[in-house]
Amino acid sequence: MYAVGVDTGPDEPPGELAAFNDFYDAHLDDVVARTPGFVCAERYELADGTGGPRWLAVYGVDGEEPARRFVERATGPVEDRVKYPPGPPAWTRMTTVWRLIWRRAAWTGALAVPAGRVALIGMNPAPGATGPEISDFDDFYTGVHLPEIISKFAYDRGSRFALWHELRHPAPGCPANLALYEAEVAPVPPAAPALTPGPPAWEGREVRWRLKYDRIGK
């Protein structure tokens, strides 16, 4: 999964934002058509949370080899990169916040979800965790926490991702783990349900961001 997060200026006029959004929807199709191994794309707007970009584009990538070729092209000579059409003024003024490639490690829930709301949680195990402690963290995250969030917070699917390649992320860098929870309809938050405590590397985990996005394109 290739995730691109961008911010537009806070003072962009509504007409400029409308032109930005129209262009971005067409840009998704352009990227998928011109990037071997990119198979789908969706676009989201931040609904809740701080520390993340306002606009998020997510591209499905068909395996590690297409991802590797994409990174080689994206980090190679400028003249070898794809030249896309210029966008409207708000597009040229936007700031790129994230360019991240994630490898899916596990998932639970529905096979396919026409997601309307997604929640993204980026985290690291407790600082200083040893190899065996990180293994316990992973086992708990996948086997206990992921399905528990699905059942108690009314999401339809939960997926765990490991950071595969960071092209851009603000300092101090991207967290190593991403949980992506998807729901066709934005869930109504329950009243703080009790969650199962985990091993030390889990209880001392470092959460970098908790963000909720609404789907707006594709």
Confidence class of residue 217 from pLDDT cuts 50, 70 and 90?
confident
* Residue in this structure with the two tokens 């994230």, named with its chain if needed: 98
pLDDT in tens, 110-126: 988 888 999 999 999 99
Query: What is the pLDDT at residue 115?
Result: 81
Q: How many helices (H) and strands (E) does the chain have?
A: 6, 8
User: Domain limits at 144?
Assistant: 2-217
What one-character DSSP code corresponds to residue 79?
Answer: G
CA distance 124 to 53: 20
Can you give the pTM of this predicted structure? 0.94
CATH code for the domain in which residue 168 is found: 3.30.70.100
Q: Domain count for the chain, please give it.
A: 1
* Residue in this structure with the two tokens 């995730």, named with its chain if needed: 3
Write out 127-195 in H/E/C secondary structure.
CCCCHHHHHHHHHHHHHHHHHHHHHHHCCCEEEEEEEEEEEECCCCCCCCEEEEEEECCCCCCCCCCCC
Query: What is the pLDDT at residue 187?
Result: 82
Query: What is the pLDDT at residue 17?
Result: 97
Residues 6+ apart with CB under 8 A from 129: 137, 200, 201, 204
CA distance 42 to 29: 10
Query: What is the pLDDT at residue 58?
Result: 97
How many other CB atoms are there within 10 angstroms of residue 101's CB atom? 21
CA distance 22 to 87: 10
pLDDT in tens, 31-86: 999 999 999 999 999 999 988 999 999 999 999 999 999 999 999 998 888 899 99
Strand, coil or helix: 116: coil
For residue 162 the two structure tokens come to 């490991």
H runs (alpha helix) in the chain:
14-34, 64-75, 89-93, 131-140, 146-153, 200-203
